[in-house]
Protein backbone atom coordinates (compact mmCIF):
# COMPACT_ATOMS: atom_id res chain seq x y z
CA UNK A 1 0.00 0.00 0.00
CA UNK A 2 1.31 3.41 -0.89
CA UNK A 3 1.17 6.38 1.47
CA UNK A 4 -0.88 8.40 -1.04
CA UNK A 5 -3.71 5.88 -0.46
CA UNK A 6 -3.95 7.33 3.06
CA UNK A 7 -5.17 10.74 1.82
CA UNK A 8 -7.97 11.27 4.42
CA UNK A 9 -5.51 10.49 7.20
CA UNK A 10 -2.92 12.82 5.64
CA UNK A 11 -5.51 15.63 5.74
CA UNK A 12 -6.15 14.97 9.44
CA UNK A 13 -2.40 14.89 10.10
CA UNK A 14 -1.99 18.28 8.46
CA UNK A 15 -4.92 19.81 10.39
CA UNK A 16 -3.66 18.52 13.75
CA UNK A 17 -0.10 19.76 13.08
CA UNK A 18 -1.01 23.13 14.61
CA UNK A 19 -1.74 21.72 18.08
CA UNK A 20 0.85 22.55 20.78
CA UNK A 21 3.09 19.83 22.31
CA UNK A 22 2.01 17.36 19.64
CA UNK A 23 3.44 13.91 18.92
CA UNK A 24 3.40 12.53 15.42
CA UNK A 25 2.17 9.07 16.42
CA UNK A 26 0.31 7.39 19.28
CA UNK A 27 1.38 3.73 19.44
CA UNK A 28 -1.41 1.39 20.60
CA UNK A 29 -0.27 -2.17 21.34
CA UNK A 30 -0.99 -5.24 23.44
CA UNK A 31 0.71 -5.30 26.83
CA UNK A 32 2.45 -8.56 25.84
CA UNK A 33 4.10 -6.80 22.87
CA UNK A 34 5.54 -3.88 24.85
CA UNK A 35 9.04 -5.30 25.29
CA UNK A 36 9.57 -6.66 21.78
CA UNK A 37 7.47 -5.78 18.73
CA UNK A 38 6.10 -2.46 20.06
CA UNK A 39 9.54 -1.36 21.27
CA UNK A 40 11.09 -2.35 17.94
CA UNK A 41 8.52 -0.27 16.03
CA UNK A 42 9.01 2.63 18.47
CA UNK A 43 12.79 2.50 17.93
CA UNK A 44 12.40 2.35 14.14
CA UNK A 45 10.09 5.38 14.15
CA UNK A 46 12.36 7.37 16.49
CA UNK A 47 15.31 6.60 14.21
CA UNK A 48 13.31 8.29 11.44
CA UNK A 49 12.74 11.40 13.59
CA UNK A 50 9.08 10.55 14.23
CA UNK A 51 7.90 11.65 17.67
CA UNK A 52 6.01 8.76 19.25
CA UNK A 53 3.75 8.57 22.29
CA UNK A 54 4.57 5.15 23.76
CA UNK A 55 3.28 4.07 27.16
CA UNK A 56 6.60 2.47 28.07
CA UNK A 57 8.32 5.85 27.73
CA UNK A 58 5.59 8.40 28.42
CA UNK A 59 3.74 7.35 31.57
CA UNK A 60 5.57 8.70 34.62
CA UNK A 61 5.77 6.63 37.78
CA UNK A 62 2.91 7.32 40.14
CA UNK A 63 0.68 8.90 37.50
CA UNK A 64 -2.78 7.75 36.41
CA UNK A 65 -2.25 5.23 33.63
CA UNK A 66 -5.57 5.92 31.88
CA UNK A 67 -5.32 9.70 32.28
CA UNK A 68 -1.85 9.73 30.70
CA UNK A 69 -3.12 7.60 27.81
CA UNK A 70 -6.02 10.03 27.37
CA UNK A 71 -3.55 12.93 27.16
CA UNK A 72 -1.40 10.98 24.71
CA UNK A 73 -4.36 10.31 22.45
CA UNK A 74 -5.39 13.97 22.52
CA UNK A 75 -1.89 15.15 21.64
CA UNK A 76 -1.08 12.84 18.74
CA UNK A 77 -1.47 13.51 15.04
CA UNK A 78 -2.30 9.88 14.21
CA UNK A 79 -2.79 6.66 16.08
CA UNK A 80 -1.33 3.39 14.95
CA UNK A 81 -2.54 0.07 16.26
CA UNK A 82 0.06 -2.69 16.22
CA UNK A 83 -2.16 -5.67 15.41
CA UNK A 84 -0.41 -8.84 16.56
CA UNK A 85 -1.65 -12.26 17.71
CA UNK A 86 -1.36 -10.95 21.30
CA UNK A 87 -3.61 -7.97 20.51
CA UNK A 88 -6.17 -10.22 18.80
CA UNK A 89 -6.34 -12.35 21.96
CA UNK A 90 -6.60 -9.31 24.22
CA UNK A 91 -9.20 -7.16 22.44
CA UNK A 92 -12.22 -9.39 23.16
CA UNK A 93 -11.46 -9.29 26.90
CA UNK A 94 -11.42 -5.50 27.12
CA UNK A 95 -8.53 -3.70 28.74
CA UNK A 96 -6.45 -0.67 27.94
CA UNK A 97 -5.71 -1.45 24.28
CA UNK A 98 -9.44 -1.92 23.68
CA UNK A 99 -10.12 1.53 25.18
CA UNK A 100 -7.39 3.11 23.06
CA UNK A 101 -8.79 1.40 19.97
CA UNK A 102 -12.30 2.64 20.75
CA UNK A 103 -11.05 6.22 20.97
CA UNK A 104 -9.03 5.90 17.76
CA UNK A 105 -11.89 4.32 15.81
CA UNK A 106 -13.91 7.49 16.42
CA UNK A 107 -11.34 9.52 14.48
CA UNK A 108 -9.88 9.84 11.00
CA UNK A 109 -6.41 9.37 12.38
CA UNK A 110 -6.09 5.58 12.68
CA UNK A 111 -3.70 3.31 10.79
CA UNK A 112 -3.63 -0.42 11.60
CA UNK A 113 -0.25 -2.13 11.35
CA UNK A 114 -0.78 -5.85 10.75
CA UNK A 115 2.22 -7.77 12.15
CA UNK A 116 2.59 -11.55 12.32
CA UNK A 117 -1.13 -11.98 11.59
CA UNK A 118 -3.62 -11.21 8.81
CA UNK A 119 -6.48 -8.88 8.00
CA UNK A 120 -8.77 -11.93 7.99
CA UNK A 121 -7.81 -12.77 11.58
CA UNK A 122 -8.35 -9.12 12.53
CA UNK A 123 -11.75 -9.04 10.79
CA UNK A 124 -12.91 -11.89 13.08
CA UNK A 125 -12.08 -9.78 16.16
CA UNK A 126 -12.62 -6.18 15.00
CA UNK A 127 -14.40 -5.67 11.68
CA UNK A 128 -14.23 -1.87 12.15
CA UNK A 129 -10.45 -1.85 12.55
CA UNK A 130 -10.06 -4.32 9.68
CA UNK A 131 -12.04 -1.94 7.46
CA UNK A 132 -9.32 0.72 7.81
CA UNK A 133 -6.60 1.02 5.21
CA UNK A 134 -3.30 0.14 6.83
CA UNK A 135 0.10 -1.44 6.47
CA UNK A 136 1.20 -5.05 6.83
CA UNK A 137 4.51 -6.69 7.60
CA UNK A 138 3.23 -9.55 5.44
CA UNK A 139 3.88 -7.22 2.51
CA UNK A 140 6.79 -5.20 3.87
CA UNK A 141 9.35 -5.29 6.66
CA UNK A 142 8.73 -3.49 9.94
CA UNK A 143 11.43 -1.03 8.84
CA UNK A 144 9.55 -0.45 5.58
CA UNK A 145 6.35 0.17 7.56
CA UNK A 146 8.24 2.70 9.69
CA UNK A 147 9.46 4.43 6.50
CA UNK A 148 5.88 4.75 5.22
CA UNK A 149 4.63 6.09 8.56
CA UNK A 150 7.48 8.62 8.63
CA UNK A 151 6.47 9.75 5.11
CA UNK A 152 2.85 10.04 6.23
CA UNK A 153 3.61 12.39 9.12
CA UNK A 154 6.30 14.41 7.34
CA UNK A 155 5.01 17.95 6.81
pLDDT at residue number 32: 94
> Distance between CA 69 and CA 55 in Å, rounded?
7
pLDDT at residue number 20: 60
- Residue range 27-57, pLDDT digits in tens: 999 999 999 999 999 999 999 999 999 999 9
Phi, psi of 34 (to 5 degrees): -60, -35
DSSP letters, 100-130, are HHHHHHTSS-EEEEE-SS-HHHHHHH-HHHH
pLDDT at residue number 48: 98
| CATH node for 3-153 | 3.40.50.10140
pLDDT at residue number 60: 87
- The domain spans of the chain are 3-153
pLDDT at residue number 30: 94
Q: Is 147 helix (H, G, I), strand (E, B) or coil?
A: helix
Average pLDDT, consecutive stretches of 10 residues, N- to C-terminus, the chain (155 residues): 55 59 93 95 98 92 90 93 96 89 90 97 96 95 97 88
Find out whether 113 and 148 touch, Cβ atoms under 8 Å: no
pLDDT at residue number 97: 87
pLDDT at residue number 1: 45
Amino acid sequence: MEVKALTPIRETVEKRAELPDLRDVFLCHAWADRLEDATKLYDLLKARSVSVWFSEKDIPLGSSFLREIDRGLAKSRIGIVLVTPALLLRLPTGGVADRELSALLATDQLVPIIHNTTYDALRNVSPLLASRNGLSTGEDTLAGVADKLADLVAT
